[in-house]
Amino acid sequence: MKLASIPEFINSDIVRLKSENLYRKLRNIDYQNGSFLVNNKEIINFNSNDYLGLSTNHLIIRNTVKGFDEISQCSSRLVGGNNAVIEKLENSLSRHRNTESSLVYTTGYTAVLGVLSALADDQTTVFSDESNHASIIDGCKLSNSKIKVFRHNDIENLLELVRGVKGKKILVTEGVFSIGGDMSKLRSICKLAKEFGLFTIIDDAHGDFVFGKNGSGTPSELGVNTEMDVHISSLSKALGCFGGYVACANIVRDYLINKSRQFIFSSAIPTHLCISALCGISIAKKGILQRKLFKNVNLLHNGLSDLGFDIGNTCSQIIPVHVGSEKLAINLADVLLQKRVLVHPMRYPTVKKGCAVLRLSVNASHTKAQLNYALDQLEVIGKKHSII
């Protein structure tokens, strides 16, 4: 088979990425009989956002298979893909976030894009935390709005940027930041939003079903749930399922149905995935798995801190071990994998250049023995490479 010639800019950019230790490649991770495998070797997986361990829950799987009579609706919801099961899920999500209504998207990424590109325009100023997820950055760009980025969790800097700005103003932040694992200062943000007329949007993908009473979310945890105008979240993190959603007022939902291109022109979320999510919600809302999760979180937080690792300001199940050098982060991740501990080296553009971290995601399904083993291996490499 004759291949088309490859443009030189592609070759040169791949070479550059490799030379700067920013090159990425896919790795197969298999799940068999309750164990994660890489290259047919059982590993301890710290790369999954399955915070409550629900993605392999047998009750959810049985319910999903039982209701699996159609692969896809093969149409957008406005044209022919809507059904009662999707609406049942949306009603459940509205109760979960204590909002008037909800709207399900096919992924959390498209939910963020869909909200920002619909609600903001070239007459809007959007204030965005510098540590916000790539989906928020892309949504802001897609909206064609004026974007003002404030220093991470710096309310004084946000205040400086907000003063004097007229017209439509939107503030967007994460509930729990996806790399740092710290919480947004939502109480201060809501106070400022009330004073300056900011429309507030929160992406709570990593705080949803984790924080708050029985997993009701980060705004609930901080007592500002009703002060947030729009909640965006994922069904594929702590809930262990697939998809994304927006929880909001009825009129905002109507607006998104009519204006959000990511909703209008995407096929509906498959019904069997809605069944998965509904079953997952019923389990997550009991609050049992969150308590188990935070026992694990506390063990790893305390263990890493006692060893002398820099884990920043994390207060959550996301724990960044700050390394700095991209090359060192890759090497450390490779050594850990040889010891059956799978941890991802987060590098630019996920973080700033020279600020690479090993990001550990703690799950309720991790055992105490696994966490202690991981701490032992991290201690060995930390001392060998002088990062503790």
58-284: what fold?
Aspartate Aminotransferase; domain 2 (3.40.640)
Q: Decide if pLDDT at 365 tops 70.
A: yes
Q: pLDDT of 308-341, one tens digit each?
A: 999 999 999 999 999 999 999 999 999 999 999 9
Q: Are 96 and 216 in contact (CB under 8 A)?
A: yes
Q: For the whole model, what pTM was predicted?
A: 0.95
Predicted confidence (pLDDT) at residue 115 exceeds the cutoff of 80 = yes
**In this structure, are residues 112 and 240 in contact, taking their beta carbons and an 8 Å threshold?**
no
Tell me the HSE value of 5 on the side-chain side, using a 13 A CA sphere. Answer: 3
Judge whether 148 and 161 are in contact, CB under 8 Å. yes
β-partners of residue 231 are: 202, 247
Domain boundaries, the chain: 16-45+287-384, 58-284
Structure confidence at residue 357 as a pLDDT band (50, 70, 90): very high
Structure tokens at 18: 């490799």
- Res. 1 pLDDT band, cuts 50 70 90: low
Place of tokens 């982060």: 329
Helices 271-284/58-66 angle, 10° precision: 150
Site of tokens 């069944």:
275
Specify the pLDDT at position 308.
97
Task: For residue range 222-252, list pLDDT tens digits in order.
Answer: 999 999 999 999 999 999 999 999 999 999 9
347, 169 contact by CB (below 8 A): no
Lookup result for tokens 């490649």: 25
* Structure confidence by residue, pLDDT tens digits, 66-78: 989 889 999 999 9
Residue 194 has pLDDT above 80, yes or no: yes
| The CATH number of domain 16-45+287-384 is 3.90.1150.10 | yes
Q: Which two tokens stand for residue 47?
A: 């790369």
pLDDT band at 120 (very low <50, low <70, confident <90, very high): very high
Q: What is the mean pLDDT of the chain?
A: 96
pLDDT at 31: 92
Confidence check: pLDDT of 299 > 80: yes
Residue 3 scores a pLDDT above 70: no
Q: How many CB atoms lie within 10 A of CB 350?
A: 16
Q: Which residues pair with 342 in a beta bridge?
A: 45
Is residue 153 very low, low, confident or very high in pLDDT (cuts 50, 70, 90)? very high
- pLDDT reported for residue 2: 64
